[in-house]
């Protein structure tokens, strides 16, 4: 049984999905006569789609309509990914090295299972990812720790022996709330935004390796 694990957020960590998600939200807004700015979009990272719809356009749609809008938006997103999958630079190499070092790996995403399925089909090294958790499996979005605690349970690794790789403040807060090492990667948010919530912030997956991640876990759990 692995004694250390890493849980990857999906969007902005394994998938360079900023543009695809923003485009899908703009398509949804336009289809319903609404608007979304890039600033509003950036403030939603880590939330579930339904939470985003509630927050951005309160009172515009009832619960049934929100469910339909959620499905519509995610289909736009999957269509974009299928056309040109934007794998994050360095993802394949990091996954391979973590596998060789004996880490258990999971994806912990607020997105729907269909999105996770597309990524698992397209991502190089996905065969080494032993578990996934998606937004349909949890009741609370990040910064609630439920998604990461569920991933750790699936992997059979204690939370204190896990690290989380995240691109958003809400995700880093969820990692810390779960008692896990929080590692931030810039891109979606700036370093100064992520740093207060993370043990380490990097600008590229190529700056990470199993030794460094293991040291952070050992320091946290000691």
What pLDDT is attached to residue 25?
96
Render the burial of 109-135: b for 16+ CB within 10 Å, e for the rest. bbbbeebbebbeeebebbeebbbbbbb
Which residues make up the CATH 3.40.50.1000 domain(s) of the chain?
A: 5-16+86-221
Instruction: List pLDDT tens digits, range 107-146.
Output: 999 888 999 999 999 999 999 999 999 988 999 989 999 9
What pLDDT is attached to residue 40?
94
What pLDDT is attached to residue 1?
67
69 vs 54: CA distance, rounded Å: 11
Kindly state the percentage of the chain with pLDDT values over 70: 98
What pLDDT is attached to residue 2?
82
Partner residues linked to 202 by β-bridges? 185
5-16+86-221, what's its fold?
Answer: Rossmann fold (3.40.50)
Which residues make up the CATH 1.10.150 domain(s) of the chain?
A: 18-83
The answer, yes or no, to whether residue 178 has pLDDT greater than 80, is: yes
18-83, what's its fold?
Answer: DNA polymerase; domain 1 (1.10.150)
What pLDDT is attached to residue 58?
93
Instruction: List pLDDT tens digits, range 183-199.
Output: 999 998 899 999 999 99
Average pLDDT rounded to a whole number, residues 150-172: 97
What pLDDT is attached to residue 172?
97
């Amino acid at each position: 049984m692995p004694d250390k694990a890493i849980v990857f957020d999906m969007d902005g960590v394994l998938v360079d999905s900023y543009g695809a998600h923003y485009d899908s939200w703009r398509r949804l807004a336009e289809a319903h006569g609404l608007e979304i700015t890039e600033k509003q979009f950036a403030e939603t990272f880590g939330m579930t789609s339904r939470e985003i719809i509630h927050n951005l356009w309160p009172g515009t749609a009832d619960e049934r309509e929100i469910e339909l809008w959620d499905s519509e938006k995610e289909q736009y997103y999957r269509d974009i990914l299928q056309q040109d999958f934007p794998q994050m630079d360095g993802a394949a190499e990091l996954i391979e090295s973590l596998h060789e070092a004996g880490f258990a790996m999971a994806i912990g995403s607020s997105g729907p299972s269909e999105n996770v399925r597309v990524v698992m089909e397209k991502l190089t090294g996905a065969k080494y990812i032993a578990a996934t958790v998606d937004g349909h499996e949890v009741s609370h979005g990040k910064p609630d720790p439920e998604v990461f605690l569920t991933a750790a349970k699936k992997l059979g690794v204690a939370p204190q022996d896990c690290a989380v790789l995240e691109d958003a403040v809400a995700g880093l807060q969820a990692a810390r709330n779960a008692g896990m090492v929080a590692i931030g990667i810039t891109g979606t948010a700036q370093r100064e935004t992520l740093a207060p919530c993370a043990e380490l912030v990097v600008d590229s997956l190529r700056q990470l390796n199993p030794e460094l991640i293991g040291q952070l876990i050992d320091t946290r759990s000691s």
